[in-house]
Structure 1
Amino acid sequence: MPLETPARIVRELARHGYNAEREAVTLIAGAADPGTTLARAVEHAGPDAFRVTAADVRAVLDADANATDAAVSDPTPTDAESATQASNASASQASNASASRTSNPSTSTATSADTTTATETTGPPETGGSWNGRNPDRSLRSLEIENDMTGQSTGTGEYGDFVKVFKDRYEKLSRQLRGRVNHRPAEAIQSMSGGSDAAMVGLVNDIRSTASGHWLVELEDTTGTFPCLVMKDREFASAVDELLMDECIAVEGTLSGDAGIMFVDSMYSPDVPRTYKPNTADRDVQAALISDVHVGSQEFMAEAWHRFTDWLHTQEAERVEYLLVAGDMVEGVGVYPNQDEELDIVDIYDQYEQFAEHLKEVPGDIEIVMIPGNHDAVRLAEPQPGFDDRLRDIMDVHDARIVSNPSMVTLEGVKVLMYHGVSLDEVIAELPAESASYDEPHKAMYQLLKKRHVAPQYGGHTRLAPEEKDYLVMEEVPDIFHTGHVHKLGWGKYHNVLAVNSGCWQSQTDFQKSVNIDPDSGYAPIVDLDTLDMTVRKFA
């Protein structure tokens, strides 16, 4: 059994029902006969063990070394000659194994993968000399989850539930705006005299243009509605083109003579402060950001995935200690018309079983966090709770953490907002092309950061669930905003927040061809958590 790469060793161990420590995999890969060493390490671990450890492998290697020493010390000429021959054979096998790991095109792509540098700063070059793997100090790690609503859903779909969620949205976002304007409720403004200065914070209830080309924006708060007129010649008039229904804004201006309308002089969004200073980790550690794996699709790129997991086992990737998956682990069933014709695996549970097998290829010491997406077997309405117990049991590889969509994940002090990204379709459809497009998905993400809400518009294509509170509000500014869904790669910084849409692991489907979507497949953005610099690696 040839075992040229660590990922193949991991797959073979998984076939036997074992996970493995990264150092154990490295020791097996470097052995003279990896296949024999793996089999003996499994035997040493025993049938009741869950993981093959470095200690199991060392015990096997030490036993081989002792046997060789004994053979060499035996004075019998024939035995000594045999020992020499065995030693030469072992050296030859080790050399051949090393050559296969470096010359096999299917395995060398990971280490020679195309690299697109997201900023001028990249990780330090790989140092020379032999590499014995690493056993990271897990005591240095910290991983916290906020805003996970799994198991917290209380909505019944009644009218009162919708009122609660919009009231909560208004209260949270209006607090971020009241410091900028001298806010008064709609009913108080209605009782003011004409010509008075006024200011209001509200949700956008309606937007329409007048016959003269001006904009009439109706705002709503908890006391009522009030119309606000934005003149077309005002310098901020173009910002009206970027407004979405139900987002929260603040305006200030002057009431008309009859006090029936406000002439807007300035307009504000909750936004990320321009002076925002992101948090960074205290040590040199990295996180890999991926999404939209789509296992079960005929177009799932298994070889690209294998090259990615192969690379994770290399010295170049030793600083990668976190893997964040932003939804759509599987292709799902019945997501779009005639999808069954493009499925390689037709049963949804079998899709997750296969995804779990692929996840076993990831080094066992990497912390994994996953959220669901619109192709996953959860409700479509957002926020989406994490998976049910049956699916969690299937995907329990490496004790992966499965949380809701969206969730705030804090890695060693760095706040990462994970959101699958269904609302990006709506943002791109509603806003001008220069503000949001599929070719530059990070610009659509900038709009969500500006609005401080991952899915502000209700009643469109993005399904929103009524809950006791609005889990989709960005109460805290994230340091990294990670999305997927649109199958396009894009990244950039908005007021020092790193926005990353991480592409996909699925080649173009017939459905995507019909709607002219050319996916960015087989990419893995790698973020340095101590600097928030990013490198994008391509494995397809």
Structure 2
Amino acid sequence: MPLESNARIAKELARHGYNAEREAITLLASAPDSAAAVESVVDHAPDDALRITADHVRTVTTDRPVSDTDPAPTGSNPSPSGAESPDSGSRSTHESSPTRNTDKSAPESPKGQSPVEIGGSSSNRGSDSASNRGSGSGHHADATAEGSDTAGTAEGSNTADTADAPHHGPDLRELEVGNDMTGRSTGTGEYADFVRTFRDRYERLSKVLRGRVNHRPAEAIAEMPGGSDAAMIGLVNDVRSTKSGHWLVELEDTTGTFPALIMKDKGLADLVDEIMMDECLAVEGTLADDSGILFADSLHFPDVPRTHRTGAADRHVQAALISDVHVGSDEFMADAWSRFTDWLHTPEAEPVEYLLLAGDMVEGVGVYPDQDEELEIVDIYDQYEAFAEHLKEVPADTEIVMIPGNHDAVRLAEPQPGFNDEIRSIMDVHDAQIVSNPATVTVEGVDVLMYHGVSLDEVIAELPEEKASYDEPHKAMYQLLKKRHVAPQFGGHTRVAPEERDYLVIEDVPDVFHTGHVHKLGWGKYHNVLAVNSGCWQAQTDFQKSVNIDPDAGYAPILDLDTLEMTVRKFA
């Protein structure tokens, strides 16, 4: 049976125990008889080889059909793909492709061809206009499978590589991981552990706010004379409304608590709607005559500075941002995944050198009621084995970073360590880096904060719909950036593990904030930070129907690391 797709060639080589270079896959796909070419390459591969290279392919392929009995070619015959022989100084496909496909209105193509592109972030890079901050959400709904005139990347994104542009290749890559707590957990669940966690949260976030207000500790404010101007930074201990329609916010710092009254006629109602328990907040105002309460004039969140400037790669290179694969579920979209991995092997996808996966690689076991009725694979280890096989379809030279999610076999409490040794060994494909949730990945000068996103459920439940909803998940992400914490509220839906350090604080502002979990596609810019929720690879389950979740499945946001512009590709 012919191997009609690059991904199937990669899978067949993986079945024999080999990874393969992207160019090797392309050459095998171009052979007159791909199946025979694969068998021949496997038979002739050196005994110590772990990866099939383009040179391995060239030594066993000619312009005529290949069989296992064919002798290796001699001389300088060209390869089936038209590439020069090793003796002629040919360049790899990473180096030789001069242009990118810029047709943004192409319809969705059959398996193995380029898919439709949709949407794109705002072209006003660096601005904080309403159109910039709200761009992206919901555009996927207008895309059609055939003949659609879809929007392309925003103005300013690269549409062609110049002749003297830097070449693609592993030697040019730079990838560093920060804030990875895997193997560093110190919490035992004791009360003192929680005290240390919240003290660390307060100290680090209050530093962000101290440059904006003339902060005084709670015990010092209590000693100030009535009528004095005062400002306090603290964690929100309580929020409640009064009979008169005002709001009473109690803040707590390391010295005690102090109440602030926010009058309904102060124009702060919109900000009060955004307050969540346990987040860090600054309040400025005037003390009452008896110094027992602070009448608030203004509120301040730690927030992202409007002047934030983003990093950028010094060459044209891209990263695919995906999440929520859910292998093991009856509704895992294997065909869409294969179309995605097929595309990754095409010349058009050559710039995609990084794959960042934000959790829920597998469906898991016992995550929600009656989940066993929706499982195709019932054993958790078998689920990870199957996921690893699907991951082998990705080009072998792709740099992969993965974090866990709430369906994965790690503790539910955040931060989540990056799996135990047994599961890590199962997912040891293409030298993937498996780190904690959350973690910051610096990719060629671009800081990407990866967080699976369980707390988005809580943000969406607590805040008004216009500020946080499942249909526009990036707006809920804006709130986490504003609070500079990925899971500010304690004791609710999001479980928090106490550590000496609060790994959930967003101490350094990222350039890109990448989440998943809610199975909805949405993206936009907030104070120059690109927030992306990448959808999923799982069709609607019975459980999702029961809770009215209509997932956005089979989409892959592709991020230009040199411009921070984004194109969303549809594979379902």
In the TM superposition, 1:123-202 aligns within 5 A as 136-202=168-234
Q: Deviations over 1:392-416 (max 9, x none)?
A: 1100100000000000000001000
Q: Deviations over 1:161-209 (max 9, x none)?
A: 0000000000000000001111000000011111111110000000000
C-alpha distance after superposition, 1:412-459 (max 9, x if no partner): 010000000000000000000011000000000000000000000000
In 2, the alpha carbon distance for the partners of 1:427 and 1:105 equals: 38
- Tell me, what secondary structure is at the counterpart of 1:175? helix
Contact 1:122-1:535 within 8 A present in 2 as well: no
Q: Distance in 2 between matches of 1:323 and 1:243?
A: 35
Residue 116 of structure 1 aligns to which amino acid in structure 2?
G
Contact 2:520 2:534 in 1 (8 A): yes
5+ residue gaps, structure 1: 71-103, 128-133
| Residue 243 of structure 1: aligned partner | 275
Which of these residues, 241, 251, 262, is aligned with residue 230 of structure 1? 262
Q: Map of 1:420-439 to 2, 5 A cutoff?
A: 420-439=452-471
The residue number in structure 2 matching 1:81 is none
Moved more, 341-350 or 33-42: 33-42
- Preserved CA contact (<8 Å) 2:60 2:73: no
Shift of 1:35: 1.4
Letter in 1 for 2:31: A
Structure 1 residues 59 and 122, CA gap change in structure 2 (3 angstroms): farther
Q: Secondary structure at the match of 2:265?
A: coil
Find out whether 1:113 has 2:120 as its counterpart: no
Matched, 1:3 2:7: no
Q: Is the 8 A contact 1:118 1:536 kept in 2?
A: no
Alignment equivalent of 2:328, drawn from 296, 303, 309: 296
Count how many residue pairs are aligned between Structure 1 and Structure 2: 501
Residues 474-495 of structure 1, C-alpha deviations (whole Å, 9 max, x = no match): 0000000000000000000000
2-structure distance, mates of 1:197, 1:481: 37
1:374 to 390, 406, 409: 406
Pair 185,3 (structure 1): closer, same or farther in 2 beyond 3 Å: same
Q: Do residues 493 (structure 1) and 496 (structure 2) align?
A: no
d(CA) in 2 for partners of 1:289 and 1:147?
A: 19
What is the CA-CA distance between 1:315 and the residue it aligns to? 1.1
Shift of the alpha carbon at 1:297?
A: 0.1
Q: Is the 8 A contact 1:23 1:135 kept in 2?
A: no
Q: Could you say which residue in structure 2 is the equivalent of 1:27?
A: 27
Q: What does residue 58 of structure 1 align with?
A: 58
Does structure 1 conserve the Cα–Cα contact (< 8 Å) formed by 2:115 and 2:569? Answer: no
Counterparts of 1:472-491 in structure 2, within 5 Å, are 472-491=504-523
Q: Which secondary structure state, in structure 2, belongs to the residue aligned with residue 408 of structure 1?
A: strand
Range with greater deviation from structure 2 (271-280 or 373-382): 271-280
CA distances 1:349-392 after superposition (whole Å, capped 9, x unpaired): 00000000000000011100000000000000000000111011
CA distance in 1, matches of 2:49, 2:172: 26
Q: 2:50 is matched by which residue type in structure 1?
A: F
CA distance in structure 2 between the partners assigned to 1:282 and 1:408 by the alignment: 20
Residue identity in the other structure for 2:58: R
Structure 1: distance between partners of 2:247 and 2:72? 86
Residue number in structure 1 paired with 2:443: 411
Q: 1:329-344 alignment to 2 at 5 Å?
A: 329-344=361-376
- The DSSP-based 3-state class of the residue aligned with 1:332 is coil
Q: Deviations over 1:141-174 (max 9, x none)?
A: 1000000000000100000000000000000000
Q: Is the 8 A contact 2:59 2:73 kept in 1?
A: no
The whole-number CA distance in structure 2 between the counterparts of 1:441 and 1:22 is 34
The CA deviation at 1:47 is 4.4
> Could you tell me how far apart the structure 2 residues matched to 1:39 and 1:117 are?
42
Q: Match of 1:309?
A: 341
Tell me the secondary structure at the aligned position of residue 156 of structure 1.
Answer: coil
In structure 2, C-alpha distance between the alignment counterparts of 1:196 and 1:123, rounded to whole Å: 53
Structure 1 position 360 matched with structure 2 position 364: no
Deviation at 1:135, TM superposition (A): 8.6
What residue number does 1:40 align with?
Answer: 40
Aligned-partner residue type, residue 32 of structure 2: A
C-alpha displacement at 1:69, in angstroms? 9.0
Aligned partner letter, 2:530: L
Equivalence for 1:211: 243
The one-character-per-residue Cα deviations of 1:249-269 (angstroms, maximum 9, x if unpaired) are 111110000000000111100
Give the one of 535, 543, 561 matched to 1:503. 535
SS for the counterpart of 1:345 is coil
AA aligned opposite 1:168: D
Q: Answer yes or no: is the 8 Å Cα contact 1:126–1:315 preserved in 2.
A: no
Contact 2:121 2:525 in 1 (8 A): no
Post-superposition offset of 1:15: 1.4
In the alignment, the residues of structure 1 paired with residue 568 and residue 17 of structure 2 have an alpha-carbon distance, to the nearest angstrom, of 33
Contact 2:109 2:115 in 1 (8 A): no
The answer for the alignment partner of 1:12 in structure 2 is 12
Partners in 1 of 2:110 and 2:431 — Cα distance? 29
- 2-side partners of 1:502 and 1:463: how far apart? 23
Provide the rounded CA distance (Å) in 2 between the counterparts of 1:280 and 1:162.
38
Partner in structure 1 of residue 415 of structure 2: 383
2:290 aligned partner = 258
1:316, CA displacement in angstroms? 1.1
CA shift in 2, pair 1:68/1:188, >3 Å: closer
Q: 1:478 to 1:125 in 2, by over 3 A?
A: closer
What's the TM-score once normalised by structure 2's chain length? 0.85
Residue pair 1:383, 1:406 contacting (<8 A) in 2 also: yes
Matches within 5 A, 1:267-282: 267-282=299-314
Moved over 4 A (4+): 62-70, 122-127
SS of residue paired to 2:464: coil
TM-score for the superposition, normalised by structure 1: 0.90
Identity of aligned residues (%): 73
Structure number with higher helix proportion: 1
Q: Tell me the secondary structure at the aligned position of residue 399 of structure 1.
A: coil
C-alpha RMSD of matched pairs (Å):
2.0
Shift of 1:52: 1.1
Greater mean alpha carbon deviation, residues 20-29 or residues 118-127: 118-127
1:515, distance to aligned residue in structure 2 (A): 0.5
Q: Within 1, Cα distance between the matches of 2:5 and 2:290?
A: 78
- Structure 1 position 112, deviation (Å): 3.6
Displacement, 1:121? 3.1
**Match in the other structure for 2:496:** 464
Counterpart code for 1:414: V
Distance 1:68 1:336, change over 3 A: closer
Indicate the residue corresponding to 1:350 in structure 2: 382
Q: Deviation at 1:115?
A: 2.9
User: Could you tell me how far apart the structure 2 residues matched to 1:465 and 1:350 are?
Assistant: 28
Q: Which moved more, 1:115-124 or 1:492-501?
A: 115-124
